[in-house]
Amino acid sequence: MVDRPAKPDNVSDTAQVSAPPELPELVVRALRMSLVRGYVQASRTETGRLLATLAATRTGTIAECGTGCGVGAAWLRSGAPKDTRVITAELDPELAHGVMDMFADDDIDVMHADWSSLAEHAPFSLIFMDAASAKHWPREEITGLLDNGGMIVLDDFIPCPTWPPLVRGRVDTLRLDWLADERFTSVDVMVAEDTSVLIAVKK
């Protein structure tokens, strides 16, 4: 995810967001871990609220690629129905085991593994990852892990009003490929002035 300055004095900052100021307790815990570890790549609150809303519509199993300090997984678990499984994979052993301990009693399955290990737990009703990770995970493999009606959520795009989408003056091929894939109904949602989230639902 895109590096951004940490905000140690403002864990629950929701300025510019039309939503209640309170954050789910799971999310607050994960944000505190991010601050303690100096981890500045956590999912933004705007993206998190969208994740929780999307997770509320999901059954079966939800997967996250790249746990970090658990903020994304916390948002997914906070929104998902109780009988929906949430699983997240993190390659960094220190982060993975730290989040395992933090979520030991919270019905979130944390794996110390790379994204390919998630395939053992497919199919998924939702897969969440950042754009940087999606560049290294072939779209065909992601598609094969989704249920019919399954959803892929990619965050950390730079908003762009043009077609084809551009980033730093060049065509954003990752975003273009997902938005143009006829197997999906897709949309690029600007959740803040400086970030957007791509949502693609498998037909």
154: closest CA among 119, 189, 106?
Answer: 189
The CATH class of 25-155 is: alpha beta
Percent of the chain clearing pLDDT 70 (strictly above): 90
Residue ranges of domains in the chain = 25-155
pLDDT, tens digit, 9 for 90 and up, residues 130-162: 998 899 888 999 999 999 999 999 999 999 999
Burial of residue 57, with CB atoms counted within 10 A of its CB: 0-12 exposed, 13-18 middle, 19 or more buried: middle
Q: What is the token pair recorded at 63? A: 């997967």
The predicted pLDDT at position 41 comes to 74
pLDDT, tens digit, 9 for 90 and up, residues 156-174: 999 999 999 999 999 999 9
The predicted pLDDT at position 39 comes to 83
